[in-house]
Structure 1
Amino acid sequence: MRIVLVGPPGAGKGTQATRLAEKLKIPHISTGDLFRTNMSRQTELGKLAKSYIEAGELVPDEVTIGMAKDRMEQPDAAGGFLLDGFPRNVPQAEALDELLQTERMQLDAVLDLEVPEEEVVKRIAGRRVCRNDSAHVFHVTYSPPRQEGVCDLCGGELYQRHDDSEETVRTRLEVYHTQTEPIIDYYKTQGLVVTISALGKVDEVTRRALEALNREGDAA
């Protein structure tokens, strides 16, 4: 299957993308991984992306599209892939359509993870990270530490990252609504959008997604 995964920040896209790709036996292609891989390997696209990032500028769509194209042409993606973080806007979605048409391929589904805005704010703004080890993550509501402000694992101080503040989260949501959400309407005109609730336990959301994708596959 060839799938695009969309959803607001805090919807659990990264977690679900990894799980779904494993279940469906297709590679998980994320924008973050594309940038890190290309920059670490010092590819031409990676060098170009780095020059924009170091200048504090947004990486142009054509650079991101070029990286995605190279990745989708790798042998392990011949039988399908799951795109996470790309396309990020309508011009990128249009470019992806052109690329797929050139390669005589087509998307099977656009999986939309739906989460109420206030739940997104609650999920992200409630995160607390250990100053000693950023892998130690807690949540004031869903997974609170035994002692407030103290890491259960190493006793380090727990703090809220700047990116996790409510103000920053609402800004990120506004960017999502204005830039990325329009691709849902774009793909709805092609009959590709499958919307599921991303509320509940991780396993429940994965099961819900697989069931929806299987229905879409049967319908196709």
Structure 2
Amino acid sequence: MLNIALFGPPGAGKGTQSKMLLEKYKLTYISTGDMLRQEIAVGSKLGLLAKSVIEKGGLVSDEIIVQLIEKRIVDEPITNGILFDGFPRTTVQAYILDGLMLRLKTTLTCMISLEVPRPELVSRMMERAKLSGRSDDNKDVIQFRLREYDEKTKPVAEFYSAKGKYQEINGCGDIKTIFQSITAVIQQTLRKTWINVVLYGPPGSGKGTQALKLAEKYNLVYISTGKMLRTEIKNNTEIGKRATPFMEKGEIVPDEIAISLIERRINEHPDANGFIFKGFPRTIVQAYILDGLLLKLNQSVSVAIGMEIPTLECFKRLSARGKTENKRSYDGSMELIINRLDEFTNRTKAVGDYYEKQRKFSIVDGLGTQDEVFERLTDTMDKALLQSR
């Protein structure tokens, strides 16, 4: 999930930028200010408790804020993530937010602060007072709110700076330029986010070609058990000798062989942004094994993408590849091709169900040109980036 806290003093333009961010990223909007004003308008118990505090420019109690946010989260399904406007405003609320995010099995992606000079803030809010009629838009209250911000809210910046999640943006200038600066920070943050991908599909679906392209685009380490096994066989290693009988028949090699190769590949890239797995997992047992391998890195599978393609097309592609220099040992035999496709149907398709239960599985049409399929895959990957931490 993409969870953003839009931060900054009163009058910085958070509301304006929030509307644009919601449209671009399809996030759930949580504005404590809007929710409080709504409660006051309907005369609810929470609204009456908050009214006198807001009119003086003070901060409403954490108990009230937490109740409002929990109600909002429960009432509206979360989409690609949450945009927080006006929360957290104290370090106590920052800890509260960590707890709320933990309940959703996610975390805050970043805090973006709009920085605007004090005279400009006062000018903006005085101008807004002429139009909005808000009771907290008068000069005395404005000055009080800004002092309150300096005293209580700025320590929140230090809280998230220590976590490497705080970014300042120049809040002066035209709205479009400010928005571009905000989205640039978000994209940069997403690129730093680990993403682990399982590319899944029957033999001949084009997984290898597309996995390499995705690895390049998203700066991921490509892990193909098939490629690693062929290298071991070519080099006549002990692993290669053990794997040869299985590879020649197009069968799944023993799990301990695959594990040793994958672990070695992972350990070769300690600074990786993530991994894209092609050809693994091919069974439910291997799916559990992959979970364990990634858990050692405090990571998990972000998305599993299934490339869907008719069986007849797989036959055609594998038969055609068997006539090229890229042929596999099992491409030249119709019996072996059938065996591999049966293996996929009988054992590997269940892997899709495994990830579907975790809401991590997406299907992509594997027919069309390489570029057409790649575009579909990148659309799915981009959504996964938003939904991952």
Q: Give the TM-score normalised by the residue count of structure 1.
A: 0.75
- Provide, for residues 73-126 of structure 1, a one-character-per-residue CA deviation record: whole Å limited to 9, x for no partner: 223663101111111211111111122223211111111111011222233335
Q: How far is 1:194 from its partner?
A: 1.5
SS of 2:202's equivalent in the other structure is: coil
- What is the alpha-carbon distance in structure 2 between the residues aligned to residue 108 and residue 173 of structure 1? 26
Report the counterpart of residue 163 of structure 2 in structure 1. none
CA contact (8 A) 1:27 1:76 kept: no
**Structure 1 segments unaligned to the other structure (5+ residues):** 138-160
Q: Which has the higher contact order (CA 8 A, sep 6+)?
A: 1
Report the counterpart of residue 209 of structure 2 in structure 1. 15
- Provide, for residues 10-39 of structure 1, a one-character-per-residue CA deviation record: whole Å limited to 9, x for no partner: 100111011111111112111123224556
- What is the alpha-carbon distance in structure 2 between the residues aligned to residue 125 and residue 51 of structure 1? 26
SS of 1:78's equivalent in the other structure is: coil
Report the counterpart of residue 103 of structure 1 in structure 2. 297
Q: How far is 1:128 from its partner?
A: 6.3
- What is the alpha-carbon distance in structure 1 between the residues aligned to residue 321 and residue 261 of structure 2? 32
Letter aligned with residue 111 of structure 1: I
- What is the alpha-carbon distance in structure 2 between the residues aligned to residue 19 and residue 91 of structure 1? 28
Letter aligned with residue 185 of structure 1: D
Report the counterpart of residue 143 of structure 1 in structure 2. none
**Structure 2 segments unaligned to the other structure (5+ residues):** 1-194, 247-251
Q: How far is 1:6 from its partner?
A: 0.6
- Provide, for residues 139-170 of structure 1, a one-character-per-residue CA deviation record: whole Å limited to 9, x for no partner: xxxxxxxxxxxxxxxxxxxxxx9734544433
Note if 1:29 corresponds to 2:230. Answer: no
Note if 1:62 corresponds to 2:62. Answer: no
- What is the alpha-carbon distance in structure 2 between the residues aligned to residue 168 and residue 59 of structure 1? 15
Report the counterpart of residue 197 of structure 1 in structure 2. 365
Report the counterpart of residue 280 of structure 2 in structure 1. 86
Q: Please point out which of 24, 47, 50 is paired with 2:240.
A: 50
Size of the alignment, in residue pairs?
188
Note if 1:206 corresponds to 2:374. Answer: yes
% identical aligned pairs:
34
SS of 1:28's equivalent in the other structure is: strand
Report the counterpart of residue 150 of structure 1 in structure 2. none
- What is the alpha-carbon distance in structure 2 between the residues aligned to residue 40 and residue 129 of structure 1? 20
Letter aligned with residue 242 of structure 2: Y
- What is the alpha-carbon distance in structure 2 between the residues aligned to residue 51 and residue 169 of structure 1? 22
- Structure number with greater Rg is 2
Report the counterpart of residue 341 of structure 2 in structure 1. 173
Q: How far is 1:182 from its partner?
A: 1.0
Q: Give the TM-score normalised by the residue count of structure 2.
A: 0.44
What are the equivalent positions in structure 2 for 1:122-133 lying under 5 Å apart?
122-127=316-321, 129=323
Instruction: Kindly indicate which of the two structures has a greater share of residues assigned to helix.
Output: 2
- What is the alpha-carbon distance in structure 1 between the residues aligned to residue 343 and residue 384 of structure 2? 29
Letter aligned with residue 204 of structure 2: G
